[in-house]
């Protein structure tokens, strides 16, 4: 897979045998197909573009989506807090466009496996296409309501990003390995609170609710200061471990 970066740092994923067009000009398909990662190519308007290998974040930024996707600050915490690693088995729901499922697949590698449940057929199709285009083979998209049952067991992490996730915590507990993690993404605090209380009642350990606040800094001639704009709120993350 190749990506093209323009002089402003704007990025686009290239499709094989397809001409590239933007406001900075046109580049013919044969020029792009021949270009190697690191090469520079010129548009017919003489603007310079760089050919770059996209990483998972570039791919997710540019992939097709029909619903909101999880953002890096929250994905990063799920991966770090649960210690997900190579060879692990993950259940994920709902898939949406597949943002966190792709990250799970990337981390667990070819020895691991991700089963991601999506209730909507159209969303499941988009996610399948995104995963195929990314070129990863360890993610299975299941067009299924996860509340009708979790088919897998010996799971190291179950991640739930759906309404009323606590309705299936008992099934989650059965599917998890001892030491495995439940992680819930909840935009509303009452969902996070109910998840916490139910996880506690069921005997999960190490239960925590965490919110990540991310603030960038800007470097100006006058000095360095926090940016005026920040992501005010995305969601709460609830973690609980089966021991």
Ligand X SMILES: C[S@@+](CC[C@H](N)C(=O)[O-])C[C@H]1O[C@@H](n2cnc3c(N)ncnc32)[C@H](O)[C@@H]1O
Q: Does 63 bind ligand X (CB under 6 A)?
A: no
Helices 99-108 and 72-82 cross at an angle (nearest 10°) of 40
CA distances from 178 to 88, 149, 167, 221, 242 (A): 13, 20, 21, 54, 5
Tell which positions 120-179 bind ligand X, by CB under 6 A. Answer: 120, 123, 145-147, 161-162
- At its nearest, how many Å lie between ligand X and the CB of residue 64? 12
Among candidate residues 83, 82, 81, 101, the one with its CA nearest the CA of residue 91: 101
CA–CA gap between residue 157 and residue 176 (Å, rounded): 7
Q: Does 70 bind ligand X (CB under 6 A)?
A: yes
Q: Does 118 bind ligand X (CB under 6 A)?
A: yes
Q: Lay out the site mask for ligand X across 200-219 (x = CB under 6 A, - = otherwise).
A: --------------------
Kindly indicate which of the ranges 42-50, 96-104, 106-114, 204-212 contains the residues binding ligand X, using the contact rule CB under 6 A. 96-104
CA–CA gap between residue 196 and residue 198 (Å, rounded): 6
> Counting beta carbons within 10 angstroms of the beta carbon of residue 83, is it exposed (0 to 12), middle (13 to 18) or buried (19 or more)?
exposed
Query: Of 96 and 180, which CB lies nearer to ligand X in the complex structure?
Result: 96
Query: Of 35 and 127, which CB lies nearer to ligand X in the complex structure?
Result: 127
Query: Of 39 and 152, which CB lies nearer to ligand X in the complex structure?
Result: 152
Q: Does 110 bind ligand X (CB under 6 A)?
A: no
CA 150, chain centre distance (Å): 21
Q: Which residues bind ligand X (CB under 6 A)?
A: 67-70, 93-94, 96-97, 99-100, 117-120, 123, 145-147, 161-162
């Amino acid at each position: 897979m190749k990506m093209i970066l323009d002089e402003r740092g704007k990025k686009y994923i290239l499709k094989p045998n397809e001409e590239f067009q933007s406001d900075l000009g046109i580049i013919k398909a044969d020029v792009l197909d021949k270009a190697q990662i690191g090469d520079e190519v010129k548009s017919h308007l003489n603007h310079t573009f760089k050919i770059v290998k996209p990483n998972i974040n570039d791919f997710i930024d540019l992939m097709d989506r029909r619903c909101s996707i999880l953002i890096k600050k929250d994905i990063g915490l799920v991966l770090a807090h649960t210690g997900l690693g190579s060879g692990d088995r993950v259940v994920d729901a709902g898939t949406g466009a597949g943002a966190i499922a792709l990250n799970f697949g990337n981390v667990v590698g070819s020895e691991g496996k991700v089963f991601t449940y999506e209730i909507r057929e159209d969303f499941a199709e988009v996610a399948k296409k995104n995963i195929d285009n990314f070129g990863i083979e360890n993610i299975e998209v299941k067009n299924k309501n996860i509340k009708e049952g979790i088919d897998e067991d010996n799971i190291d992490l179950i991640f739930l990003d759906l309404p009323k996730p606590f309705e299936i915590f008992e099934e989650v507990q059965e599917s998890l390995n001892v030491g495995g993690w439940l992680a819930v993404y909840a935009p509303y605090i009452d969902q996070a609170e109910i998840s916490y209380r139910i996880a506690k009642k069921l005997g999960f350990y190490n239960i925590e609710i965490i919110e990540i606040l991310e603030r960038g800094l800007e470097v100006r001639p006058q000095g360095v200061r926090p940016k005026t704009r920040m992501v005010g709120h995305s969601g709460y993350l609830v973690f609980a471990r089966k021991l």
